[in-house]
């Protein structure tokens, strides 16, 4: 036997899917033929891995500098374990040494080239030696074709460091990057459909399925994201060096992260590829890829044009469970904070209120840190809020409304979360009111003092019309807030009556502005004719369509304002009755405690959110926003309750003079916030 074979489990990592004669059988025939032609028996035994090859000395000496040095004093040689390609590649190299040829293809050319370099099969020992022949095949065949280059690059991973030293990896990477740029830039290859970008995902929450659907249109991107991350990172760098625009490069990175970090099939893929490992090892791999992806993605405002902020939130959610390095996590959070004004509620990490776990607490702490960072980034030296802070504040209040129902959330902690975004950044308090209402409904056991402390941040003057009406009729709110909402609603009602009256005066004065002037008095307006009951005839045609629409709107606003005013007046009367009862109870308490010392004069309280009042007798002009009532201690300030009753009577009298109301029932915040 000229050659010993190993166990049947041998399967070449460089095996080709193309059909070819058995290399083992061909080598056996070639060795026998050489012995018959020369009359020389096999004289060298070479062991590679678990296989031993019996060969002749002359073919090895004539083409390999390695064998020429090592077989001078011995006939037995064992190649090291680092020999490129293993015994299967050496078998093909031996066949070439005997002057035969076999099929070279992209699946084995990288291993053959590295093995030829190891055995020093250069032009120095033989003209047209294997190193030269394999280089020609790589340059003229493989690197001119996309699929062949991908195959060779994938095979190079098992041949490092030889494939790196021979620049096979670098040549493949540059070739792939060049062909990818030509896919986009070459006018002769202009496509019917545009290259895939992430613009379609910018206005919606991140979805792995939606990203995969976009990716299905680009087969060349699918090929790139199948590469190991080390090779993929170098290809991205080459794409940018060769001039590909960022709007095409960044989606490739996003698709790679979507496949190897966010996809639920990642662990299953590793298991199916033979890398059956523990969850810890899988998490380490995901963490390594995620850290590398963060280095490849554009930062700050450059990313807002090409990458949806929901993708960064998806990475953040994934990083919580895999133990991402602290500096990478901070980098990711800072990136999200800089793009927070582009986010939607669906993007945020909302902890489950039913699960008390470390992950849920970490999600809440992470969101709090991101919003705090955003506020500090958008505040200038004068602590003035920027234009984007209002959007961020509304987003934060919406987030609070989702977590406010957590039964473990205490009032003090909820107040800390509200203060994460300064109150001055909120142009509207509607979402804040909704969050407070949700919190109070989920925490019925808290005291009145705690309710007042939670609701102290709410400014009724920044509530919309519908939110203010709901606050007046909301029994969960503290009395102080209800009174504030009553005052604001009353002023809004008065303003609506005033605007309605101005609209009617404008309509009455301009109703006949298009009619012809009188012949006797050409400069006289026909303003008095508006009061005539006989103008429904010929003059009706002179009314323009815009005037009729304006008049109809004015009538509707007047009717709507009247209904609002009736609802508010009814609520005032209910509160007035409650205050009468409170006054009686205070009088009884005074009678029972006559022996006690009289209380000292209470200090004046400042209204919430406004400047302190003067004690002059001059009233504020009608329509000017007066201060709302602050915290009232009814147990010690009975006189203040009497003054409050007088104010309510004046408001009620004001309503009876201003409206010709009909008995009606107001609707409860029929319009959603």
Q: DSSP for 607-661? A: PTTSPPPP--SPPPPTTS-PPPP----TTT-HHHHHHHHHHHHHHHHHHHHH--P
Return the bridge partners of 54, or none. 45
Q: Is the confidence at residue 549, as pLDDT, over 60? A: no
How far apart are alpha carbons 542 and 510 in whole angstroms? 11
What is the band of 517 on the pLDDT scale with cuts at 50, 70, 90? very low
Q: Would you say how long the chain is, in residues? A: 673
pLDDT at 384 over 70: no
Of 283, 280, 344, the C-alpha closest to 308 is: 344
* Residue 572 pLDDT > 90: no
Confidence of residue 534 (pLDDT cuts 50, 70, 90): very low
DSSP string for 74-127: -SEEE--TT-TTHHHHHHHHHHHHTT------TTTHHHHHHHHHHTT-STTTST
On the question of pLDDT at 601 being above 80, the answer is no
pLDDT in tens, 248-284: 898 899 999 999 998 877 766 665 655 555 566 777 8
Q: Indicate whether 657 pLDDT > 50.
A: no
- How high is the pLDDT of residue 521? 37
Of the two residues 450 and 631, the one the predictor is more confident about is 450
Strand (E) or helix (H) holding 48: strand 44-48
Higher per-residue confidence, 192 vs 247: 247
Please give the CATH topology (third level) of the domain spanning 23-159.
Potassium Channel Kv1.1; Chain A (3.30.710)
Give Cα separations from 144 to 137, 152, 222, 394, 556 (angstroms): 10, 12, 19, 55, 75
Please compute the mean of the pLDDT values over residues 292-320 and round it to a whole number: 84
How wide is the angle at C-alpha 611 spanned by C-alphas 610 and 615, nearest 5°?
Answer: 120
pLDDT tens figures, 117-132: 999 998 888 888 889 9
Query: Is the predicted pLDDT of residue 670 greater than 60, yes or no?
Result: no
For the cut 50, the answer to whether the pLDDT of residue 651 exceeds it is yes
Q: Which residues pair with residue 78 across a beta bridge?
A: 47
Question: How do strand 76-78 and strand 51-55 relate by DSSP bridges?
Answer: unpaired
- Extents of the domains making up the chain: 23-159, 380-501
Give the relative orientation of helices 246-257 and 208-215 as an angle to the nearest 10 degrees: 120
Say what the pLDDT of residue 638 is.
54
Mean pLDDT of the chain: 75
In sign, the C-alpha dihedral spanning 551, 554, 556, 558 is: negative
Tens of pLDDT, residue by residue over 157-188, are 999 999 999 999 999 999 999 999 887 765 54
pLDDT of residue 529: 34
Per-residue pLDDT band at 12 (split at 50, 70, 90): very low
Higher-confidence residue: 672 or 28?
28
Q: How far is CA 87 from CA 2, 61, 91, 328, in A?
A: 16, 19, 6, 43
- H and E: helices and strands count for the chain: 27, 4
**Which is higher by pLDDT, 181 or 102?**
181
Cβ neighbors of 638 (< 8 A, separation 6 or more) are 583, 586, 587, 590
pLDDT per residue over 560-569, tens digit each?
Answer: 555 655 665 5
Q: What is the rounded CA–CA span in Å between residue 316 and residue 349? A: 9
Q: Are 380 and 397 in contact (CB under 8 A)?
A: no
Tell me the two tokens of residue 405: 């129902």
Angle formed by the axes of helices 309-322 and 358-377, to 10°?
A: 140
Q: Could you tell me the strand order of the sheet in which 44-48 lies? A: 3-4, 51-55, 44-48, 76-78
Convert the pLDDT of each residue in 16-70 to its tens digit: 544 455 888 888 898 999 889 888 888 899 999 889 999 988 888 888 999 988 8
Pick from 273-277, 363-367, 457-461, 667-671: least confident: 667-671
Residue carrying the six token digits 């329509």: 623
pLDDT confidence bin for 355, thresholds 50/70/90? low
Q: Judge contact between 656 and 568, C-beta under 8 A.
A: no
pLDDT band of residue 207 (cuts 50, 70, 90) is confident
Name which of 97-111, 361-375, 589-603 the model is least confident about. 589-603
Rounded Cα distance between 399 and 403, Å, is 7
More confident residue, 134 or 606: 134
Confidence of residue 570 (pLDDT cuts 50, 70, 90): low
pLDDT attached to residue 566: 60
- Own/partner contacts of 179-183, CB < 8 Å, gap of 24 or more, are 179/146, 179/149, 179/220, 180/220, 180/224, 180/235, 180/239, 180/244, 181/239, 181/242, 181/243, 181/244, 183/220
pLDDT computed for residue 219 by the predictor: 85
With tokens 């007042």, the residue in question is 452
Q: How confident is the model at residue 550 (pLDDT cuts 50, 70, 90)?
A: low
Q: What is the pLDDT of residues 393-450, one digit of tens each?
A: 999 999 999 999 988 899 999 999 999 999 888 889 999 999 999 999 999 988 889 9
Round to whole Å and give the CA distance between 462 and 460: 5
pLDDT of residue 640: 52
3-class DSSP state of 219: helix
Q: Band of the pLDDT at 618, cuts 50, 70, 90?
A: very low
pLDDT exceeds 80 at position 553: no
Calpha distance 230→285 (Å, rounded): 12
Q: Is the pLDDT of residue 286 over 60?
A: yes
């Amino acid at each position: 036997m000229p050659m010993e074979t190993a166990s049947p489990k041998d399967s070449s990592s460089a095996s080709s899917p193309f059909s070819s004669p058995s290399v083992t059988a061909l080598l056996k025939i070639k060795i026998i033929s050489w012995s018959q032609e020369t009359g020389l028996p096999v004289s060298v035994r070479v062991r590679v891995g678990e296989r031993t090859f019996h060969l002749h000395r002359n073919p090895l000496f004539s083409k390999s500098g390695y064998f020429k040095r090592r077989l001078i004093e011995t006939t037995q040689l064992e190649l090291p374990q680092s020999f490129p390609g293993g015994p299967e590649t050496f078998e093909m190299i031996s066949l070439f040494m005997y002057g035969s040829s076999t099929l070279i293809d992209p699946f084995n050319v990288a291993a053959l080239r590295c093995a030829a370099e190891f055995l020093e099969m250069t032009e120095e020992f033989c003209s047209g030696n294997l190193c030269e022949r394999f280089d020609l095949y790589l340059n003229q065949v493989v690197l001119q074709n996309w699929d062949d280059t991908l195959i060779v690059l994938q095979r190079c991973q098992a041949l490092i460091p030889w494939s790196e030293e021979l620049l096979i990896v670098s040549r493949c990477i540059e070739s792939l990057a060049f062909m990818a740029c030509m896919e986009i830039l070459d006018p002769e290859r202009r496509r019917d459909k545009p290259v895939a970008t992430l613009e379609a995902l910018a206005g919606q929450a991140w979805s792995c399925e939606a990203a995969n659907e976009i990716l299905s249109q680009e087969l060349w991107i699918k090929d790139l994201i199948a590469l190991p991350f080390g090779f993929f990172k170098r290809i991205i760098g080459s794409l940018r060096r060769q001039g590909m625009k960022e709007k095409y490069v960044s989606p490739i990175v996003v698709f790679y992260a979507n496949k190897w970090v966010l996809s639920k099939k990642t662990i299953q893929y590793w298991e199916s590829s033979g890398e059956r490992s523990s969850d810890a090892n899988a998490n380490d791999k995901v963490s390594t890829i995620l850290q590398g992806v963060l280095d490849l993605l554009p930062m700050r405002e450059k990313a807002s044009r090409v990458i949806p902020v929901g993708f960064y939130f998806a990475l953040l959610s994934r990083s919580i469970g895999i133990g991402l390095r602290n500096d990478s996590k901070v980098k990711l959070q800072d990136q999200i904070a800089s793009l927070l004004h582009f986010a939607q509620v669906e993007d945020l990490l909302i902890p489950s209120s039913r699960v008390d776990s470390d992950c849920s607490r970490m999600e809440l702490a992470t969101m709090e840190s991101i919003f705090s960072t955003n506020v500090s980034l958008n505040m200038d030296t004068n602590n003035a809020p920027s234009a984007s802070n209002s959007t961020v504040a509304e987003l934060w209040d919406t987030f609070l409304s989702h977590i406010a129902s957590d039964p473990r959330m205490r009032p003090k902690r909820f107040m800390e979360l509200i203060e994460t975004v300064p109150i001055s950044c909120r142009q509207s308090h509607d979402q804040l009111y909704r969050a407070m209402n949700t919190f109070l409904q989920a925490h019925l056991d808290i005291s009145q003092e705690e309710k007042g402390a939670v609701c102290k941040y709410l400014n009724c003057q920044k509530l919309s019309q519908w939110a203010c009406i709901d606050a007046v009729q909301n029994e969960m709110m503290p009395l102080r807030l209800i009174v504030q909402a009553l005052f604001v609603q009353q002023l809004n009602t008065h303003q609506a009556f005033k605007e309605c009256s101005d609209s009617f005066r404008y309509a009455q004065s301009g109703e006949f502005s298009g009619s012809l002037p009188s012949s006797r008095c050409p400069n006289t307006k026909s303003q008095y004719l508006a009061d005539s009951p006989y103008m429904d005839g010929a003059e009706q045609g002179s009314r323009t369509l815009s005037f009729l629409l304006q008049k109809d709107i004015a009538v509707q606003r007047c009717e709507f304002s009247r209904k609002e005013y009736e609802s508010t007046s009814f609520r005032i009367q209910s509160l007035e009755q409650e205050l009468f009862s409170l006054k009686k109870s205070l009088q009884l308490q005074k009678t029972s405690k006559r022996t006690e010392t009289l209380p000292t004069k209470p200090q004046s309280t400042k209204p919430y959110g406004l400047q302190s009042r003067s004690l002059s007798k001059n009233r504020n002009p009608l329509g000017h926003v007066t201060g709302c009532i602050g915290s009232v201690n009814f147990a010690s300030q009975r006189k203040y309750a009497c003054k409050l009753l007088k104010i309510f009577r004046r408001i009620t009298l004001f309503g009876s003079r201003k409206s010709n109301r009909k008995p009606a029932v107001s609707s409860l915040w029929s319009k959603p916030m």
